[in-house]
């Protein structure tokens, strides 16, 4: 686990502002959990659902995709492809978030995302229950507070600058109501962790608060603020300035398509004899081409399993070592659309080939894990699929290949599940930097993992 800083406190205490600046001071990643919960509330309200209707809120989670993106150094909250960073900061959404965040299923919906980020990075995370529930083992815990009047005054000025018509009295009433709701809810109520240090910012300047927390982090962890010259720059992993998104809609030769599908049905019949083969979610498989299929990797037959459900021919990324084997084997995999990729080296040639294949109207199959899983568990996954998907702007269809044991055997039960496509709007990022790609990779890998069981 990296260095974890948990910053809790009531609404309007300035947690987000302070957390962002402390994170920048140390070069940590800032995780705004309040924004994640507000995003669920925003989605709930935008769907016309009463935030107090627990059953309908829970039912709506299936259609809600929440993520964080970094755009020009600023963290943005994305809900189903829409940047809602400003829309989630109104009193209406604040009140809705207080209700929806108390629902256990909502907290579970976002809990794993928060834990995964904290386990892999040095982070500062702010919220209501970070030190008590989300990160109980955090090395540094801070409870940041201020008087209700001071917090209302800060929020009122912030909203007025954005043109919000809310009055000071409305904002204060909202603050008081949120305090009551947050401290009295049954699930993870707002409270100071026993080992947290309380910082009352009522009469403190933001700079004083930042220095107080920074000193505490250094004292507890030994971490030192980074020098400005040493701060990590957000650079693209590769130069994609000349690469255009894939132009979808190109039709393949109809005669070749006829013989391809004829062969596909013949092979499918043979595979159903050889294995107890079952497909689920075939309605999620597009009928056209220029799509990306991202799958877990169990064995060499995986590309065939996926292709048998596709009306349009697929092409595959395969590790470069396979193309140094027997000539007949190499000839076969090339005929079936495979091309080599040097793993872990940012193989631009392979990426360019991917775009060529997608632009030609074929689908692209990628196995993000990069290697086969012998026990069936889904691994971490590489960022290559995120990189290609973000630039190509093609739908990504997650795939789960399921069977017990390490090897395929005659009449073995095999289940291939296709998930709902991840739309280009959900895949948009400004530059293919490391942080953006890791978040996008998590979206893809989480979708695959849900299909493997």
Please give the share of the chain, as a percent, with pLDDT higher than 70.
92
- Residue 268: per-residue pLDDT: 94
| Beta strands at 413-418 and 396-402: parallel, antiparallel or unpaired | antiparallel
pLDDT score at 272 = 94
pLDDT in tens, 345-398: 556 777 788 888 999 999 999 998 877 887 788 887 887 788 888 888 899 999
The second-level CATH assignment, the architecture, of 254-450 is: 3-Layer(aba) Sandwich (3.40)
The answer to whether 426 and 391 are in contact (CB under 8 A) is no
**Of 244-253, 338-347, 369-378, 399-408, where does the model show the most confidence?**
399-408
Closest CA to 126 of 30, 225, 227: 30
**Rounded to an integer, what is the distance from CA 44 to the centroid of its chain?**
19
Structure tokens at 338: 């495979």
CA distance 451 to 447: 7
Confidence (pLDDT) at 448: 93
Lowest-confidence range among 71-75, 227-231, 258-262, 369-373? 227-231
Residue boundaries of the structural domains of the chain: 4-230, 254-450
> In what order do the strands lie in the sheet containing 292-295?
276-280, 413-418, 396-402, 292-295, 363-366, 314-319, 338-341
Residue 5, pLDDT > 90, answer yes
Residue 383 confidence (pLDDT): 79
Q: What is the pLDDT of residue 432?
A: 57
Between 68 and 55, the more confident residue is: 55
With 60 as the cut, is the pLDDT of residue 72 above it?
no
H/E run at residue 447: helix 434-450
Is the predicted pLDDT of residue 73 greater than 60, yes or no?
no
**pLDDT in the model for residue 231:** 43
Give the model confidence (pLDDT) of 124-156 as tens digits: 998 888 999 889 999 999 999 999 999 999 889
pLDDT recorded at residue 269: 94
Contacts of 282 (CB under 8 A, 6+ apart): 309, 418
Q: What percent of the chain has pLDDT over 90?
A: 47
CA gap 33, 110 in Å, rounded: 9
**Across the strands, what pairs with 397?**
293
The pLDDT of residue 297 is above 70: yes
What's the rounded mean pLDDT across residues 418-443? 78
* pLDDT, the chain, mean: 86
pLDDT tens sequence across 81-90: 888 888 998 8
CATH class of 4-230: alpha beta
- Full DSSP string of 50-106: -TT-HHHHHHHGGG--EEEEEETTEEEEEETTEE-TTGGGSHHHHHHHHHHTTSHHH
Most confident of 97-101, 130-134, 283-287, 392-396: 283-287
């Amino acid at each position: 686990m990296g260095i974890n800083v948990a910053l809790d406190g009531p609404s309007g205490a300035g947690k987000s502002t302070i957390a962002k600046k402390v994170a920048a001071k140390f070069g940590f990643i800032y995780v705004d959990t309040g924004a994640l919960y507000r995003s669920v509330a925003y989605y709930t309200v935008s769907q016309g659902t009463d935030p107090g209707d627990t059953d309908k809120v829970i039912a709506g989670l299936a259609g809600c995709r929440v993520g964080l993106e970094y755009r020009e150094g600023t963290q943005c909250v994305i809900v189903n492809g829409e940047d809602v960073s400003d829309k989630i900061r109104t009193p209406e959404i604040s009140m809705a978030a207080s209700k929806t965040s108390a629902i256990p299923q909502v907290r579970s919906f976002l809990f794993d995302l928060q834990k995964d980020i904290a386990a892999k990075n040095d982070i500062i995370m702010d919220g209501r229950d970070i030190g008590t529930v989300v990160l109980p083992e955090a090395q540094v815990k801070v409870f940041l507070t201020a008087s209700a009047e001071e917090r209302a005054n800060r929020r009122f000025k912030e909203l007025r600058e954005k043109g919000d018509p809310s009055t000071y009295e409305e904002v204060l009433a909202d603050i008081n109501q949120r305090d009551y709701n947050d401290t009295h809810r049954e699930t993870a109520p707002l409270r100071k962790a026993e080992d947290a240090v309380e910082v009352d910012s009522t009469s403190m300047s933001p700079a004083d608060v930042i220095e107080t927390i920074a000193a505490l982090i250094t004292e507890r962890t030994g971490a030192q603020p980074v020098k400005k010259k040493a701060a990590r720059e957000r650079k693209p992993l590769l130069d994609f300035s000349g690469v255009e998104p894939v132009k979808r809609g190109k039709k393949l030769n109809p005669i070749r398509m006829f013989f391809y599908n004829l062969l596909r049905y013949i092979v499918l019949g043979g595979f159903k004899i050889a294995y107890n083969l079952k497909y689920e979610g075939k309605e999620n498989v597009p009928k056209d081409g220029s799509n990306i299929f991202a799958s877990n990797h169990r064995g060499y037959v995986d590309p065939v399993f996926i292709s048998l459900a596709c009306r349009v021919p697929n092409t595959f990324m395969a590790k470069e070592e396979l193309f140094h084997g027997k000539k007949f084997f190499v000839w076969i995999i090339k005929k079936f659309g495979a091309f080599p990729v040097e793993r872990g080296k940012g193989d631009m040639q392979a990426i360019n080939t991917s775009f060529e294949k997608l632009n030609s109207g074929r689908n692209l199959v990628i196995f993000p894990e990069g290697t086969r899983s012998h026990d069936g568990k889904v691994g971490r996954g590489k960022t290559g699929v995120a990189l290609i998907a973000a630039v190509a702007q093609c739908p990504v269809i997650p795939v789960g290949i399921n069977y017990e044991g390490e090897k395929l055997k005659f009449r073995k039960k095999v289940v291939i599940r296709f998930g709902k496509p991840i739309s280009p709007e959900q895949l948009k990022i400004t530059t293919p930097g490391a942080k953006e790609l890791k978040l996008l990779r998590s979206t893809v890998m989480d979708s695959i993992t849900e299909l493997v069981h």
